[in-house]
Structure 1
Amino acid sequence: MSWLLELYRTYEANSDDIGEVQKRFNGTEYTLLPTGHTTQNAHIEVNITKDGEWHSARVIPKDEANTTIPTTEDSASRSGKKVAPYPLHDKLSYVAGDFSEYEGNAKAEQFDKYITNLETWKDSPHGHWKIKSIYNYLRNERLITDLVEENILFLDSDGKLLNKWDSEKGEKPEIFKVLVGEPESLFVKFNVHSPNEILTPVWQDKDVFTSFINFYKDQLLDDDYCYILGEILPKTERHANKIRHAADKAKLISDNDTSGFTYRGRFEKSFEAASISYEASQKAHNALKWLIRKQGKTIDGRVFLVWENSGQEVIEPSADSYDVFHSDSIPDKTTFTNTEFAHAFSKAIDGYKSNLEHGRNINIMVMDSATTGRLAVLYYRIMDVDSYLERIKTWHSSCIWLHMYKRDGNKNRISYLGAPSARDIAFAAYGPEVNDQVTKGLVERMLPCVVDGRRIPRDVIRSAFYRASNPVGMEKWEWEKTLSITCSLINKEEGYSVRLDETNQDRDYLFGRLLAAADVLERRALSNEEQRATNAIRLMNSFSKHPERTWKTIQESIQPYQAKLGKKANDLNKLIDDIGSQIDIKDFNNKPLSGKYLLGFYSQRYELYQKKSQNPEEEMINE
């Protein structure tokens, strides 16, 4: 249960953020919930005066719907016909004492239990004056009447609540833009209005939070040993849901399988196996929700989360080097070497490390659900900051290549040295149409490669290699991106320099250089308007399988272009002869090439374009 303890510590370390509404870069709001609180999408806001009189109401826009509300263990897990009201904000059938007058349904039990609980809170030593104002209004049992008079709700010809708007009556009222199902499911939140002062909204008022927390703490019974905190505290057998998002019903901890022999035969009650206190469960789950909304990444329901207890920003293990530190920190690509990059990256990591306290832990967690009710921790790793950053540095310095491709829907082109992201590795291995189910599996498989130093799965490298060797089946931009990412994966295993190594006598590397020289030679001879693939590129797949036989075909196909260029081709002709002479006669055969030929191909092609152009990246991408 170490992850629960780390989440508890995270909650305690960020206690100043409790109840504060914050926004992510994409505009999504998130809050570190107080204990005994959850979130709910509200549809109607009702304003009450300090004296407990009706003031006003409005339909809540969807972007303001997310609301922090107090909850009990019963209300958090209510389902079906179970009557378990939330302590303050709730559905219309619970909070409206006159609901039965308009609907004719037997909902009086819901309101009776709701108003009784609210009165108990109001009269407790921890009661709050805002709760008293709201109670004084609701006990009059005229909420629906006031909402109808305010033109928030509407009645049909029989005096019942209207649940569907007839388009012939004119423009649809706002309530029917948010209503899904019956009117009784409309969620109502309450606020207290004062004409003379600006009051904090009830759902953001920390004094109201504290009022309920202290009130509900007095209701908790049955102390037991908490396996998380190691103390005797009030226990709980009901744990939070809504972990990944507001509609998430899956729980990480559940013990209601009393007939499935989960614990029967060994224990009589579930808590005999492991007891968790209410406080530990609430704080750990609320911290987890906060972290997921704040910085988690979700792919097809699978959550990837990395955090440091104090809330400091943490480098994502699945991010590419461009996101870790941008191109302004990368050495000049015309003279780059792996050593230079590693040095620059190390400096960036050291600067980042200075923002973190020594001795802190980094937590890495992957969660997913197989059913709607069960959520599982698929991967969890805890490391000290120094070890984690050292692994990150090793990954980005070894899985290195020069990348030039487009991101954000292929709109923005980037150029950077380093490692690709896990999502881009999925792109290279399985293509641009890869679905999220495959992507989330690959991202999870790549995590141990980064944080534990494990080898990249062979099937991933093999799949990317086959795709990179078949450019004819792809668009130009797709192949270039696949090629550079594949080179990164292969280079992680081989440890080659990104820069062209003219001293490398490896057979496969030399064959790759030959292919690049033939490709550039033919490209030079073609006019700017003729953008077709060269013979070297068209025959690349065959070349990787039968290099000797295919090279003969390529050699014959470039002869017309050598003649067309004349003396302009002398440098490339000489290069081809020089590379060919370095291949040992016994190695000049049809043995299939390994991924090292792609490294030689890429480096040689870049070197040739660099000599010819001030911007080799543009030359390679637009050729």
Structure 2
Amino acid sequence: MSWLLNLYETYESNVDQVGKIEFKHNGNEFTLLPISHTTQTAHIEVQITEDGEFHSASIVDGADAITVIPCTEDSASRSGIKAPPYPLHDKLSYVAGDFTSFGGKQKEPFNNYIKQLEEWAVSPFAVPKVKSIYTYLKKGQLIRDLVNEGILYLDEDGKLIKKWDKKYEALYGEKPKIFSVVAGEQASAFVRFNVYSATKVLTSIWKDKEMYESFINYYNGKLSDNDYCYVTGKNKPFTEKHANKIRNSGDKAKLISANDKSGFTFRGRFTDSKQVATISYEVSQKAHNALKWLINRQGKIIDNRVFLVWGNDDVNVPNTTDDTYDLYSLDFLRETPEKTERISYTNKEFATEFAKAIEGYKNNLSIKSNVNIMILDSATTGRLAVLYYRNLNKEEYLNRLINWHSTCVWRHTYRKDGDGKRVTFIGTPATKDIAFAAYGPTASDKVVKGLMERILPCIIDQREIPEDITKSAFYRASNPVGMERWEWEKTLSIACALINKKEGYTVSLDKENNDRDYLFGRLLAIADVLERSALGPDENRSTNAIRFMNSFSKHPERTWKTIQASLQPYQMRLGKKGQYFSMLIDEVASRINLEDFNNKPLSGKYLLGFYSQRHELYQKHEKNTNEGENQE
């Protein structure tokens, strides 16, 4: 119940956000829903005058189609042909009183709908907009008006066309828009209503807080059955029907459900679902609405698996799935260190800099501030499960995040800024990028989400990174021939970060490190830079060091003989510069003990040595080039 309580408290802390429209990265709207409300994708919008007359109608398409609608307990979880109606906006078969006159078979859905709407319209909580819509709909002429408006279309028998056919082109020309917007028959189109005024601008009903409060007050007055709420510990009206549409407007999976009375739900321990636990209607509504809002706002969804991090009092919290570059750019971090590269960068220095970035943020924390980490996924279309949940003190969470971003760290160049220019940052890769480094860019979403879930305890609980993940990235980084250059460079730096999580090395070259594998990696880097320096600017082929890298990692002594023999013509071509590389090779090789110069497979340390040595050589090359330009 702790996650429900924390979601409920999050709703209470952000109640001022209820009804405020926000936008996702793709431009779609979302909001923190009021209680007793849900969302639906509307297909038709009908404008009603304040006097209760038909004004106009239009097809709704795109991002504006998601509509906040009032709902009851029964309608929120409805299914089937005889499903209970929504209180205001609903499908055409519910809201059209003349539905049977145009091919509909059932009058009951409209009768139930208009009776329910009448109760709201005549209640003391009703606002003028509700009364205007009720006045119009009770006339029972909606489909006729929509046909006259050119929104709906009839066949030769005067009935609603069920499915568009080319034979209707003789009557209507090109395929009408309604058949592209609605997946099924015209009768399944979802209709939303709005009130039009010729003298003033009215807020759209689905964005009108007065409308929200009107229905909430009306519906809450109908709730009477009180019971003990296991979340708040208070006696309040309870509910057995909990919300769906948690991940998106079409999501049917529920987190809480006990509707299988004939199966194995209770397994003989209870005779009624209330004996297991009871949750108040208010808590269920607020907790689920807060969860929907948070997922839309900051959740990461991979193959329908939700990765979510939020704070109770302040929902803006650095996410465990982001890389260091993304965390540096967060608006709510008060102090942001410069994103410039540092040649000598120790883990301790990095931890200090990253800590500074969130110091102002931590100073604003209250004593009770905490962070929630949650993973959600569904095995079936009807059931959603909490796969992982942790609640931590916010300061403890941030300290663990600092530890992760200061230990699993390396130098990366695969990110791009807003102008599309490649940038360099020293830090930790995103968990999604770790998945692609370990399993390749074509890895399925199922594989990616599985790895992201496995990495989470490494961040939150400070566990070791699973060995198979590190090994997989190591093997791919050791086989550059099968990848494009940019992909291999990205895989290499991420593999180095994973290996470095255990080894604790620095990006800057450690010339005093006499570890066998590290030294072999240095030799490979010198050979690569030597040959690359001798190649012309138009020669983009891989060097022998890169071509034999996979073999070198398995049989270093034997492969090094082949690589070194291939270097002779390039050493001669470079002249004096080639002598420098030769001397460097001799210096590094002399550090390897004679008994260690063998074909024992190399560990991940060789990648660290390879990267650091290559980075230093390129740094020297850039420095010499710049000095030469300055002298000219």
Give, in whole Å, the separation in 1 of the partners of 2:90 and 2:21.
Answer: 21
Cα distance between partner residues in 2 of 1:102 and 1:322: 59
Distance in structure 1 (CA, Å) of the matches to 2:444 and 2:510: 38
Gaps of 5+ in 2: 330-335, 626-632
**One of 596, 600, 608 as aligned partner of 1:599:** 608
Show CA shifts across 1:347-401 (max 9, x none). 1121332454443111111000000000000011111110111011111111111
Aligned position for 2:147: 148
Q: Which residue in the other structure is 2:332 paired with?
A: none
Tell me if 1:305 matches 2:308: yes
Partners of 1:311 and 1:22 in 2: CA distance = 17
Residues 278-297 of structure 1 aligned to structure 2 (within 5 Å)? 278-297=281-300
The answer to whether structure 1 residue 199 and structure 2 residue 202 are counterparts is yes
Residue 508 of structure 2 corresponds to residue 509 of structure 1? no
* Comparing 357-366 and 324-333, the one that deviates more: 324-333
CA distance in 1, matches of 2:4, 2:26: 28
- For the residues of structure 2 that align with 1:566 and 1:23, how far apart are their CA atoms? 61
What is residue 543 of structure 1 aligned with on the other side? Answer: 552
Task: Look up the match of 1:273.
Answer: 276
Deviation of the 1:153 alpha carbon: 1.5
Contact 2:228 2:236 in 1 (8 A): yes
What is the match of residue 630 of structure 2? none
What residue number does 1:523 align with? 532
Shift of 1:614: 4.3
**CA deviation after TM superposition for structure 1 residue 213, in Å:** 1.0
| Shift of residue 171, structure 1, vs aligned partner | 3.2
Superposed displacement of residue 409, structure 1 = 13
Q: 2:178 aligns with which of 170, 175, 188?
A: 175
Give, in angstroms, the shift of residue 196 of structure 1. 1.1
Q: 2:147 & 2:244 partners in 1: Cα distance?
A: 34
Give the % identical residues.
61
| Cα distance in 2 for residues equivalent to 1:525 and 1:135 | 83
CA distance 1:176–1:314, shift in 2 (3 Å): same
Indicate how the Cα distance of structure 1 residues 318 and 18 shifts in structure 2: closer, same or farther if over 3 A, else same: same
Q: Does 1:347 align with 2:379?
A: no
One-letter amino acid of the structure 1 residue matched with residue 202 of structure 2: L
Aligned residue in 2 for 1:590: 599
Whole-Å separation in 2 of the counterparts to 1:81 and 1:171: 32
Partner letter of residue 87 of structure 1? P
Tell whether the 8 Å contact from 1:404 to 1:414 is kept in structure 2 after alignment: yes
| 1:48 corresponding residue in structure 2 | 48
Letter in 2 for 1:492: K
After TM superposition, the structure 1 = structure 2 runs for residues 416-455 of structure 1, keeping only pairs within 5 Å, are 416-455=425-464
Deviation at 1:554, TM superposition (A): 1.5
Q: Distance in 2 between matches of 1:127 and 1:249?
A: 31
1:314 and 1:462 map into 2 onto residues whose CA distance is: 31
Residue from 340, 361, 371 that aligns with 1:362: 371
1:476 equivalenced with 2:479 (yes/no) = no
Matched-pair contact (CA < 8 Å) for 1:330–1:341:
no
What is the rounded CA distance, in whole Å, between the counterparts of 1:421 and 1:115 in structure 2?
52
- Partner of 1:574, secondary structure, is helix
Q: Look up the SS of the partner of 1:613 in the other structure.
A: helix
The two structures have a TM-score, normalised by structure 1, of: 0.95
Task: Give yes or no for contact 2:48–2:133 (8 Å, CA) kept in 1.
Answer: yes
User: Over residues 169-214 of structure 1, what are the superposed CA-to-partner deviations in whole Å (9 max), with x where a residue is unaligned?
Assistant: 4233332331221121111111111111111222111121111111
Distance 1:117 1:16 in 2: 30
Q: Is the 8 A contact 1:100 1:107 kept in 2?
A: yes
How far, CA to CA, are the matches of 2:450 and 2:464 in structure 1? 16
Which residue of the partner structure matches residue 17 of structure 1? Answer: 17
1:49-448 equivalences in 2 (<5 Å)? 49-103=49-103, 105-163=104-162, 164=164, 166-168=168-170, 169-325=172-328, 329-330=338-339, 332-406=341-415, 412-448=421-457
Shift of 1:605: 0.5
State the distance in 1 between where 2:169 and 2:317 align.
52
Letter in 2 for 1:247: G
Instruction: Report what 1:534 is aligned to.
Output: 543
Match of 2:35 in 1: 35
SS in 1 for 2:615: helix
Q: For 2:81 and 2:504, locate their aligned partners in 1 and report how far apart those are by CA, in whole Å.
A: 64
CA distance, structure 2, for counterparts of residue 406 and residue 343 of structure 1: 23
Structure 1 residue 262 displacement after superposition: 2.0
Q: Secondary structure of 1:484's match?
A: helix
Give the superposition deviation at 1:332: 3.9
Separation in structure 2 between the aligned mates of residue 245 and residue 356 of structure 1, nearest angstrom: 32
Structure 1: gaps of 5 or more residues: 617-623
Aligned pair in 2 of structure 1 residues 407, 445: CA closer, same or farther (>3 Å)? farther
- Is 1:556 equivalent to 2:561 in the alignment? no
Could you list the per-position Cα deviations for residues 248-304 of structure 1 after superposition, in whole angstroms to 9, with x for gaps in the alignment?
000000101222222142111011111111111011001001111111111001011
What per-residue deviation string (whole Å, max 9, x for no partner) do you get for residues 487-525 of structure 1?
000000000111100011111111111111111111112
**Cα offset for 1:97?**
0.7
- The RMSD of aligned alpha carbons is 1.9
* Alpha-carbon distance between aligned partners in 2 of 1:615 and 1:384, rounded to the nearest angstrom: 50
Q: Deviations over 1:4-43 (max 9, x none)?
A: 0000001111111111221123312111111111000111
- Output the CA distance in 2 between the equivalents of 1:538 and 1:410: 34
Corresponding residue number in structure 1 for 2:628: none
Aligned equivalents of 1:156, 1:392: Cα separation in 2: 63
- Partners of 2:112 and 2:50 lie apart in 1 by 24
Structure 2 CA distance, aligned partners of 1:3 and 1:445? Answer: 21
Q: Distance in 2 between matches of 1:43 and 1:408?
A: 39
1:359 counterpart SS class: coil
Q: Kindly state the Cα deviation for residue 312 of structure 1 after the two structures are TM-superposed.
A: 3.8
Q: Secondary structure at the match of 1:489?
A: helix
Q: Which secondary structure does the structure 1 equivalent of 2:243 belong to? A: coil
Residues 572 and 351 of structure 1, relative CA distance in 2, 3 Å threshold = farther
Q: Which amino acid aligns with 1:79?
A: S
Contact 1:472–1:538, Cα closer than 8 Å, also in 2: yes
